[in-house]
Amino acid sequence: MVGRIMNSYVSHLEAAIDGTILPHDQIQRLHKDRPLWVRYDLDCAGRTLNRETLAARAPTLWRYRELLPLPLDEEPVSLGEGMSPLLPAPRLGDAIGLSDLWVKDESQLPTGSFKSRGLCVAVSMAKHFGIDRLAIPTAGNAGGAMAAYAARAGMEAFVFMPRDTPIINQIECVLAGAALYLVDGLISDCGAIVRNGVEATGWFDCSTLKEPYRIEGKKTMGLELAEQFDWTLPDVILYPTGGGTGLIGMWKAFAELKALGWLESEKLPRMVAVQSDGCAPIPRAFDSGERFATPWENAETCASGLRVPSAVGDFMILDAVRQSGGRAVAVPESQIVQAMHQAVTAEGISICPEAATCVLAAEQLLDTGHIGKDERVVLFNTGAAAKYVETVTLDLPEITDPASVDYERIVR
């Protein structure tokens, strides 16, 4: 049986652009310069795994083992990632005007962002294929995550990031032993450096969507969401979109759950791709009805994970958004930090600037009637606020004489 060659339920890889089928027992990257899907024998997987057997498993993303590409008898490269909290957000909901708002809080994952989901699966697969040298272009968090998993696996890591990437991302790469290079340019320039170096260095290019496995890691957000809501999906998902791996992955997860027959209702969520108006190629393509996005000039946003002027999976994002009946929206860059502050104050959840764009998007979509006030809305908090030390500026009162404190002024 084809699906069992490697002791996994993977049946084949499929080119997203034209459906070409490729074998999965060797390294594959792109087809016609576009990404690949991992396809599974879901009938077979569904005979081993069901909702009840799943419930008894450990709370990491590896609980969905049969729906992941790593052969079942191989040890994953793991830092305990997955099963992030799904938190009700009533105060933030009140402030926005939503009665059933939830936050899927990815800030608590290893390296403080959901990038660990994709990279633990990609690094595990690289190890499976005998690769010991990895490279990645990054807007920040992906590099930190890859460096951590490479360290965990005992592999060499090479990271290329724009010079102005948040300092925490630089530190986490260096601490994890990666060779880090600061590049005078954007993530696309970093991408070219990695791509052009493949032959000379023999490294494995872990770029977003340029290998098929990061999507598989990120799709576990969708699997968890379904499981945490007792197999009933929300009405709307708000997703801060850079390369789009998470949105694409979740949409794939929902299709797989549907095929497995695990969902309580046929209705799937409306997927909303959110970007800053400082870098909004996806909303622009959505509005003009295009299937591919033209690169954004002079991309600039404090939400560094969203500074992706051109995404290799643009059509996959737009297809998912449109198939779901959702939208792609741009929100004002000038309001992101304030929305971040508002959200953390309201709930105590460590909301990153990327996720703060979704707070603004929720308000905008309520205004335009694209979201109803009583709909169940899930906002993805993709990273930890504390990683963005450059973004929040402080102007704090001081106590110069600890011996004479004016308490009335303090509690006023």
Ligand X SMILES: *Cc1c(COP(=O)(O)O)cnc(C)c1O
383: contact with ligand X by CB under 6 A? yes
- Binding part of the chain for ligand X, among 227-235, 241-249, 331-339, 391-399 by CB under 6 A, reads 241-249
- Helix (H), strand (E) at residue 45: helix 42-48
Using CA atoms, how far apart are residues 223 and 229, in angstroms rounded to an integer?
Answer: 10
Residue 63 is classified by DSSP as: G
Q: How many residues bind ligand X (CB under 6 A)?
A: 18
The reply to whether 227 sits near ligand X by the rule CB under 6 A is no
Among 115, 128, 219, 327, binds ligand X (CB under 6 A): 115
Query: H or E element: which one contains 347?
Result: helix 336-347
| φ, ψ dihedrals at 121, nearest 5° | -75, -45
String of b and e for 93-109 (b: at least 16 CB within 10 Å)?
bebbebebbbbbbbbbb
Closest approach of ligand X to the CB of residue 137, in Å: 12
Task: Determine the interface stretch with ligand X among 16-24, 184-192, 235-243, 368-376 (rule: CB under 6 A).
Answer: 235-243
Strand order in the sheet with 156-162: 179-183, 156-162, 133-137, 204-205
Query: Is 136 or 155 the residue whose CB approaches ligand X more closely?
Result: 136
Residue nearest ligand X, CB atom distance:
305
Contact (Cβ atoms closer than 8 angstroms) between residue 209 and residue 203: no
CB of 383 to ligand X, least distance (A): 3
> At its nearest, how many Å lie between ligand X and the CB of residue 115?
5
Question: Distance between CA atoms of 392 and 303, rounded to whole angstroms?
Answer: 12
Write down the least CB distance from residue 209 to ligand X, Å.
8
Q: Does 245 bind ligand X (CB under 6 A)?
A: yes
Interface residue with ligand X among 302, 352, 356, 365 (CB under 6 A) is: 352
Task: Single out the residue of 243, 269, 278, 281 in contact with ligand X (rule: CB under 6 A).
Answer: 243
Interface mask (CB under 6 A) for ligand X, residues 304-343, using x and -? -xx-------------------------------------
- Closest separation between CB of residue 179 and ligand X, Å? 21
Sign of CA dihedral 251, 254, 259, 260: positive
Question: Does residue 107 bind ligand X (CB under 6 A)?
Answer: no
Nearest approach, Cβ of 53 to ligand X (angstroms)?
A: 29
Q: Which of 233, 216, 171 is nearest to 38 (CA)?
A: 216
- Residues 363, 337, 159, 297, CA torsion sign: positive
Closer CB to ligand X, 45 or 145, in the complex: 145
Interactions with ligand X, residue window 126-185 (CB under 6 A) = 141-142
State in angstroms the smallest separation of the CB of 218 from ligand X.
6
CB 188 within 8 A of CB 309: yes
Can you tell me the distance from the alpha carbon of 165 to that of 180, in angstroms, rounded to the nearest whole number? Answer: 12
Nearest partner of 147 among 206, 83, 189, judged by Cα: 206
Neighbours of 161 (CB within 10 A): 25
220: contact with ligand X by CB under 6 A = no
Contact window for ligand X (CB under 6 A) among 149-157, 234-242, 263-271, 320-328: 234-242
Only one of the segments 27-35, 42-50, 240-248, 330-338 lies at the binding site for ligand X (rule: CB under 6 A); that segment is 240-248
Among 84, 165, 301, 382, binds ligand X (CB under 6 A): 382
Site for ligand X in 183-212 (CB under 6 A): 208
Could you tell me which residues come within 8 angstroms of residue 53 by beta carbon, excluding any fewer than 6 positions away? none
Using CB under 6 A as the criterion, which residues of the chain lie in contact with ligand X when the complex forms? Answer: 113, 115, 141-142, 208, 240-246, 305-306, 352, 354, 382-383
